[in-house]
Amino acid sequence: MNYSDIDLNLVKTFLAVYENKSILLASKKLFISQPAVTKSIQKLEELLGGKLFIRTAKGVVPTKEGEEFNIACYNSMTILNNGINKFSALSNLEEGNLNIGSSSTIIRKILLKFIKKFNAKYPNIVISITDANSEKLVKYVKNNAVDLAILNLPIPEVESFYVTPIFETHDCFIANPDYKKDFVKKSELKNEKVIVQKRPSSNRDYFEQMCVENKVTIKPCFEIGSFGLITDFVANNMGIAYTIKEFVQDDIDMGRVKVLDTDFVSSPRQIAAITSLVTVNSFACEVFIKELKNEFLKEEK
């Protein structure tokens, strides 16, 4: 015999009788008749193959086996109750953990205000953030090292993930405000000092793809690992750079850099949240993605 052979209601009735040492008081607590309580105890005793209580003039007294059974049942019900409460707390976001993977640039330029708002709304959710490039983030989601990753599309093996687009970005060329031109032809780019992001980088991969589509060959003068440093190099008049306009908008507004017009064609891209197809998302993860969509779709309307 195992626990699946016993109706949980029989155990609840047993615990009520044990606690009250009375069939009458147990029936009142459970809102059922005395005969129903008696019948439940008898059925449980039949299933277990022994007596749980001895009837006396003052009520019922547990047998030695009944005492042992009570300890086991009480501990089991306590664990079950704790599990129910834990599930409830997690589902109501009263506690939990959320592991987010993204680049420092996306977090700083796009997500920081949203994360602050989310944290204020759900202060008991512990948020862990992993900073990595897209290549690593894809692996982290596959290996369940993070709950979700927020990154630039496209990504390899996109069919292996749930993809939630949240923000559209636009690529551009930027230069120092004193740069001699406001328009750069794509045919002239091979003669320019071009600053690009160092590999591995989804931005670098996309730029090279756009170069192929525009039939342009470029030899970079600087390859820089940090996205933020690219803008600093441009601001110091060390070359022009292909970058994401939304990420450098503050520098444009402050006059540190300017956007160059060009006939170099590139399509808008998406920043998206990706999660694993083979893992069930936590409540915190589901709510984070839902509110992420609401936040940025609201801004686009």
Count of the separate structural domains present in the chain? 3
On whether both 263 and 284 belong to a single domain, the answer is: no
Tokens matching residue 265: 């064609």
What pTM value is reported for the model?
0.69
Q: What is the spatial distance between Cα 195 and Cα 180, in angstroms, rounded to a whole number?
A: 17
Do 234 and 117 lie in one domain? The reply is no
**Pairing between strand 148-152 and 269-276?**
antiparallel
Per-residue pLDDT of 221-273, as tens digits, reads: 999 988 889 999 999 999 999 999 999 999 999 999 999 999 999 989 999 99
141 and 187 in a single domain? The answer is no
Question: Residue 66 CA to chain centroid, in angstroms?
Answer: 47
Residue 112's CATH number = 3.40.190.10
Report the pLDDT value the prediction gives residue 298, as an integer from 0 to 100. 64
Verify that 28 and 153 share a domain, yes or no: no
3-state secondary structure 180-212: CCCEECHHHHHHCCEEEECCCCHHHHHHHHHHH
Q: Is there a single domain that holds both residue 80 and residue 200? A: no
| Domain endpoint, select from 91, 123, 151 | 91
Q: Give the CATH number, domain containing residue 15.
A: 1.10.10.10
- Distance between CA 191 and CA 108 in Å, rounded? 33
* Residue 81 and residue 20 in one domain: yes
Are 33 and 7 in the same domain? yes
Of 62, 91, 120, the position where a domain reaches its end is 91
- Identify whether residues 160 and 282 lie together within a single domain: yes
Claim to verify: residue 274 and residue 144 sit in the same structural domain? yes
Q: Are residues 161 and 275 in the same domain?
A: yes
- Same structural domain, 147 and 282: yes
Classify residue 255 by its DSSP letter.
Answer: T
Provide the domain limits for residue 233. Answer: 171-267
Measured CA distances, 161 to 1, 243, 275 (Å): 43, 26, 6
Examine the domain organization and report whether 187 and 148 are in the same domain: no
Domain-terminating residue out of 91, 119, 136: 91
Contacts of 93 (CB under 8 A, 6+ apart): 122, 124, 125, 283, 284, 287
- Where the chain has pLDDT below 50, the residues are 300-301
